[in-house]
Structure 1
Amino acid sequence: MFDFLKKKKQPQQLTAMINGEVIPVTKVKDDVFSSCMLGKGIAIHPTDGTVIAPADGKITVTMEGTNHAVGIRIAEGFDLLIHIGIDTVSLNGEGFISYVKTDQKVKAGDKLIEFDKDLIESRGLCSDVILIAIDNPELPDITFKSGMQATAGETVVATW
């Protein structure tokens, strides 16, 4: 009876963490990501090198020294991994600048990492930026969207 008085839960979303073409994570040329071993997600063929937070949250992991990845626990209580490139750890941080530290709170759109896309590609490495929702039995049912051009901070790439 009075269901109309109950506040409807608003759908939650993640926005693109970088500008570029969104592809399914299953198309990434790395078995750890494409097999969804860590969790489901998307990847973006970037057109630039600025990675931003896809949602409000808290930084849980930074890759000090290499700066090629960052972990975020978002407000809804689950963890995201943003990983820049394939085998970019081999660059030992060359071409990467991190703007965050572990335990730092971030808002959607805050700058996380900048990287030199041209440097990565000149070394024969892939510069795709990968977003994974780390597998967790408590995870809500997330729908990832791909097959589009994304604008960082604007284009919705996942909903739940």
Structure 2
Amino acid sequence: METPIYGRIGIGHLVEGPWAEALGPIAGRRVRLVRCDRIGGTRRGNPASLVSRGSLDELAHQAGVADIDARRFRMLIELDGTIPHEEDDWIGGRIALGEAILRVSARDGRCAITTQDPDTGARDFDMLRAIIRYRGVMPDKSGAPKAMFGVLADVELPGRVRLGDAVQVLDRAP
């Protein structure tokens, strides 16, 4: 079946079972669940985002705060055991993470949601200003200036990634 998803057409099949019925009251209308037949078949951009604990710790140090809660950045993967911003050096290259292989494609432009406490939603810290003071602004894919923090990646080889899996740099950009 075809279904519109964020302005694109996804090709998939209807998921049978009680899940759609359970989600209907939350959505406030009848819901049908469709599973895409192709991995990433409806994605609008990079399906993976990564940031290192080293980068978060350095940002906290530069901002003069004890800690930066990684949840502010809504990253898919938080890495440990790297130097600050080592993930930036992987842009254009590939990494293995667990059973998956990712091609790191770009820095991640941050938005105002990072200024909000992840538990309360209240604005409590000017994260964008802290990033810009520390790293400056950099152009995003369209050339617009952004506060960049973390990286985006495409999945070249899907696979299981588990807590504690090591990252292996397979190759770097030429």
TM-score range, shorter chain: under 0.3
- Between Structure 1 and Structure 2, the one with more helix by share is 2
TM-score, length of structure 1 as denominator length: 0.27
TM-score by length of 2: 0.26
Larger-Rg structure: 2
